[in-house]
Amino acid sequence: MILVLIKLCFVFICFSSAEKNVTKSSAEIESEKDQEILKESIQLYGSPRSMSTLDLPGPRLTRSNLNDVSTEVKFNNSGTGNYSFEFYAKTKKFAYLERYEVGEIKKIGNETIQTVRGQFAERIDGGKELFYIRTIGYTADQNGYQPFLLDLSKVKTTYMLVYAIAHLVGIPMGPKIAISSTVIATLTGGNLG
């Protein structure tokens, strides 16, 4: 009798845990995906660094109109070795600063060297109207090339019937977009140094 009760308890526990795995909510699945992308980002590039102390702009996420699929490039060159450029990518759902770089000629000791600091973005598809923008910063100077994590932003796009109707009658409206940016610092213990 006791053996039968133990077997029944074992079956109930196994069935209960299997049922929990099958019935995960979309919020739980999204949270797991957030943690997975965060863990991967830190493994690849280390803990995030502060954009403001490095004088880097970050991802600059914005809405994009349904018909607005283009890019924007800004380039400045002083002719003396100092330059800057920005590459702003636009999709049908959102836009972001994909690439940014500043090059400067600096005198260090008796040497004159070209220094570079910048950032690039990686867009990661999270499935079902969910995207991650991982912004990687870098410096290149007398110490070599050094990449590091700047920001991990989450972009969730949703289309509503109102937007579809507005688009059909020609009213320019972009999708609703919720952006969660730089909360990564709190997830990693606030290490922004």
How far, in Å, CA of 154 to CA of 141, rounded? 31
Q: Report which of residues 182 and 55 the model is more confident about.
A: 55
State pLDDT tens for residues 39-57.
Answer: 999 999 998 888 888 889 9
* pTM of the shown model: 0.66
Question: Is the pLDDT at 98 greater than 70, yes or no?
Answer: yes
The answer to whether 152 and 132 are in contact (CB under 8 A) is yes
Q: Which of 99, 102, 96 is nearest to 59 (CA)?
A: 96
Task: Give me 1's structure tokens.
Answer: 């009798």
Q: What is the mean pLDDT of residues 124-148?
A: 90
pLDDT score for 83: 94
The answer to whether 113 and 141 are in contact (CB under 8 A) is yes
Question: Is the pLDDT at 179 greater than 70, yes or no?
Answer: no
